[in-house]
């Protein structure tokens, strides 16, 4: 049933393309049209109550704004049953930008709060098929990206990181086959758009991204626990709302997991639940997409504090008025202002954030001052990431990737 929504979902692209040029995406519309559920205060409170952890700012501020069946996971958790987390990354570039870190930051919080295992899929196969890269390069990038992911602080006793090229086989491949046996080319056309001109490698890939949603793909972790539920944190750009569907190459889109949820009961598994984040804007604003070919469209985890300062000052789209006098009179527009949006993602202190928003929107605070605060916040975050990444050794990567039981993963 859910795959039928996919055809309709493609139409959704247009309204959001239309709304994005004003600099603000209408997330309410998006939730309605995609048929997912909103993350509201009640569900955030419930998570806090169940985990006894203060909610992550991404939850407090509605940055993760939509879900599918998160309540089912929480109901079972309340009744004493655990679940596992699944997320991933397509290793297509050497260094990650801040937008790439967002799902991993929330995943780290969820892992700690719920004390659950996590599997992370690195789709080196996908990037070979989609990007113009050699297999050797995809494998190298997967390992390099694993270091950035590990630097987010995951617990090796609860986390299994795998690359498709190494891990697909055995029980995992059995699930790939089960999925592949239940999806037609017609279903797939609803996900990709046209497929007839595409290479046949791409046709099997959605089944490979679906398989980690099923616990029996990991017999070293979940033996005999085939009904264990799975929660997938992922980013909104994986809805693919920016750009035209036929040119969108990103494969972690919501439609992929709708396909997975469709197939799950047919092959004897629970449907995976999803928790989905807002789009992280390019420095130039929400109407543009961060692009690897334009290093000035994003802040990278490898940027120096000088680069961060220069990029924020020069490129971050500001809604400040043309002159100080005018700004004092009219103030900034919080809905489209990129420094404000970035602070919303990364400034931890709620009171300070509210204060900045108020002062800026009422014209007492100037763009330059907001940018200065943002530069400090991002420089600290990136420097912390760089320190953590420098500590990640090849042995640590091997330990995360080792196919071995994690006996204390639920403890
Ligand atoms: N295909 C995704 C990408 O290009 C990577 C990925 C694989 C993923 N499995 C996932 C992302 C599960 C989110 C959740 O980034």
Using one digit for the tens of pLDDT, what is the confidence trace for 301-360? Answer: 999 999 999 999 999 999 989 899 999 999 999 999 999 999 999 999 999 999 999 999
233: Cβ below 6 Å to ligand 1? Answer: no
Average pLDDT over residues 267-296: 85
Going by DSSP bridges, is the β-strand pair 64-68/37-38 parallel, antiparallel, or unpaired? antiparallel
Whether 31 maps to a domain, the answer reads yes
Please give the Cα distance from 410 to 85 (Å, whole number): 12
Residue 135 sits in the same domain as residue 186? yes
Index of the ligand 1 atom closest to the CA of residue 234: 13
Q: Residue with the nearest Cα to atom 3 of ligand 1?
A: 90
Whether 209 lines ligand 1, by a CB cut-off of 6 Å, is yes
Q: What is the CATH number of the domain that holds 335?
A: 1.10.240.10
Domain that holds residue 341: 295-390
Asked if residue 6 belongs to a domain, the reply is no
Do 222 and 109 lie in one domain? The reply is yes
Q: Let me know if residue 360 belongs to a domain.
A: yes
Weakest mean pLDDT among 12-16, 94-98, 153-157, 208-212: 12-16
How far is CA 403 from its chain centroid? Answer: 25
The pTM is what? 0.92
In this prediction, residue 23 carries a pLDDT of 55
Quick one: 104 and 132 in the same domain? yes
Of 215, 248, 283, the domain-final residue? 283
Residue 33's pLDDT band (boundaries 50, 70, 90)?
low
Whether 121 lines ligand 1, by a CB cut-off of 6 Å, is: yes
Report pLDDT digits (tens) over 347-392.
Answer: 999 999 999 999 999 999 999 999 999 999 999 999 999 999 999 9
Q: Give the CA diameter of the chain.
A: 69
Do 273 and 73 touch, CB atoms closer than 8 A?
yes
Which of 283, 314, 330 is where one domain is finished?
Answer: 283
Assess contact for 65 and 39: CB atoms under 8 A: yes
Is 395 part of a structural domain of the chain? no
Residue 21: partners with Cβ closer than 8 Å, 6 or more residues away:
287
C-alpha span between 176 and 182 (Å, rounded): 10
Assigned domain for 258 exists:
yes
Residue 307 shares a structural domain with residue 226 = no
> Could you tell me if 203 and 344 lie in one domain?
no
Can you say whether residue 217 is alpha, beta or left, with left for phi > 0 and alpha for psi between -120 and 50 degrees?
alpha
Residue 71: CB atoms within 10 Å: 14
Residue pLDDT, tens place only, 115-139: 999 999 999 999 999 898 999 999 9
Summarised one tens digit per residue, pLDDT across range 80-126 is 999 999 999 999 898 899 999 999 999 999 999 999 999 999 999 99
User: Which of 100, 202, 251 to probe ligand 1 with, by most ligand atoms within 8 A of CB?
Assistant: 251
239-253, 320-334, 395-409, range with greatest mean pLDDT: 395-409
Residue 232 lies in a domain: yes
Nearest CA to ligand 1 atom 5: 89
> The sheet that has 229-235: what strands, in order across it?
37-38, 64-68, 273-277, 229-235, 83-89, 118-122, 159-163
Query: For residue 179, what are the CA distances in angstroms to 6, 68, 84, 175, 264?
Result: 17, 20, 20, 6, 8
Distance 171 CA to ligand 1 centre (A): 20
Average pLDDT, the chain: 88
Instruction: Specify whether 54 is located in the same domain as 192.
Output: yes
Q: Do 179 and 98 sit in the same domain of this protein?
A: yes
pLDDT at 12: 34
Is 2 a member of any domain? no
Q: Are 394 and 309 in contact (CB under 8 A)?
A: no
No. of helices (H) and no. of strands (E), the chain: 19, 7
pLDDT at 10: 36
Number of domains in the chain: 2
For residue 242, being part of any structural domain is answered with yes
Other Cβ atoms closer than 10 A to 329? 10
pLDDT digits (tens, 9 = 90+) for 215-245: 999 999 999 999 999 999 998 654 443 333 3
**Do 316 and 241 reside in the same domain of the chain?**
no
Nearest residue by C-alpha to atom 9 in ligand 1: 88
Q: Residues 37, 148: one domain?
A: yes
Span of 12-26, 121-135, 148-162 with lowest mean pLDDT: 12-26
Closest CA to 85 of 102, 103, 61: 103
Q: What confidence category does residue 190 fall into, taking pLDDT thresholds of 50, 70 and 90? A: confident
With pLDDT > 90 as the criterion, what percentage of the chain qualifies? 72
Listed residues 254, 283, 312: the one ending a domain: 283
Q: Which of 2-16, 33-47, 157-171, 173-187 has the lowest mean pLDDT?
A: 2-16
- Alpha helices by DSSP H, 37-151: 41-51, 57-60, 70-78, 98-114, 124-130, 135-150
State in Å: Cα 252 to ligand 1 middle.
Answer: 5
Residue 90 shares a structural domain with residue 137: yes
Residue 41 structure tokens: 């205060």
**Residues 226, 116 share a domain:** yes
* Shared-domain flag, residues 381 and 271: no
Confidence of residue 253 (pLDDT cuts 50, 70, 90): low
Given this model, what pLDDT does residue 411 score? 85
Looking at the CA of residue 103, tell me the nearest atom of ligand 1: 13
Q: For residue 89, give the DSSP letter.
A: E
Q: Which residue shows structure tokens 């995609």?
A: 34
State the CATH number of the domain containing residue 242: 3.40.50.620
Cβ of 262 closer than 6 Å to ligand 1, yes or no, is: no
| CA nearest neighbour of 38 among 274, 229, 239, 346 | 274
């Amino acid at each position: 049933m859910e795959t039928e929504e996919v055809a309709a979902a493609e139409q959704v692209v247009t309204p959001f393309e239309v709304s994005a040029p004003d600099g603000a995406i209408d997330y309410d519309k998006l939730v309605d049209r995609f048929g997912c559920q909103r993350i509201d205060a009640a569900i955030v409170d419930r998570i806090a109550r169940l985990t006894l952890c203060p909610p992550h700012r991404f939850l407090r501020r509605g940055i993760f704004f939509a879900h599918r069946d998160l309540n089912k996971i929480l109901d079972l958790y309340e009744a004493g049953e655990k679940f596992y987390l699944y997320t991933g990354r397509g290793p297509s570039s050497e260094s990650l930008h801040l937008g790439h870190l967002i799902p991993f930051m929330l995943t780290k919080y969820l892992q700690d709060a719920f004390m659950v295992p996590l599997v992370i899929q690195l789709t080196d196969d996908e990037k070979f098929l989609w990007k113009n890269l050699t297999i050797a390069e995809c494998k190298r990038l997967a390992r390099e990206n694993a270091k950035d992911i590990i630097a987010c602080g995951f617990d090796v006793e609860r986390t299994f990181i795998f690359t498709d090229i190494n891990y697909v086989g055995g029980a995992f491949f059995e699930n790939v086959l089960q999925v592949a046996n239940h999806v037609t080319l017609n279903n797939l056309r609803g996900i990709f758009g046209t497929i007839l001109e595409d290479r046949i490698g791409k046709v099997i890939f959605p089944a490979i991204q679906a398989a980690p949603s099923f616990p029996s793909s990991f017999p070293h972790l979940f033996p005999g626990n085939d009904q264990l539920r799975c929660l997938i944190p992922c980013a909104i750009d994986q809805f693919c709302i920016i750009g035209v569907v036929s040119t969108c190459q990103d494969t972690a889109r919501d439609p992929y997991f709708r396909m997975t949820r469709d197939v799950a009961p047919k092959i004897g598994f629970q449907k995976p639940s999803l928790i989905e984040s807002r789009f992280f804007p390019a420095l130039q604003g929400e109407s543009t997409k961060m692009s690897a070919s334009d290093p000035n469209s994003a802040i990278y985890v490898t940027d120096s504090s000088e680069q961060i300062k220069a990029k924020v000052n020069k490129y971050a789209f500001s809604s400040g008025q043309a002159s100080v006098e005018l700004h004092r009179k009219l103030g900034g527009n919080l809905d489209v202002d990129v420094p404000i949006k970035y602070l919303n993602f990364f400034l931890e202190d709620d009171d300070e954030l509210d204060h900045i928003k108020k002062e800026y929107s009422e014209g007492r605070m100037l763009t330059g001052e907001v940018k200065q605060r943002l530069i400090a916040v991002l420089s600290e975050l990136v420097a912390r990431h760089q320190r953590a990444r420098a500590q990640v050794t090849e042995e640590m990567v091997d330990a995360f990737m080792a196919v071995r039981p994690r006996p204390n993963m639920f403890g």
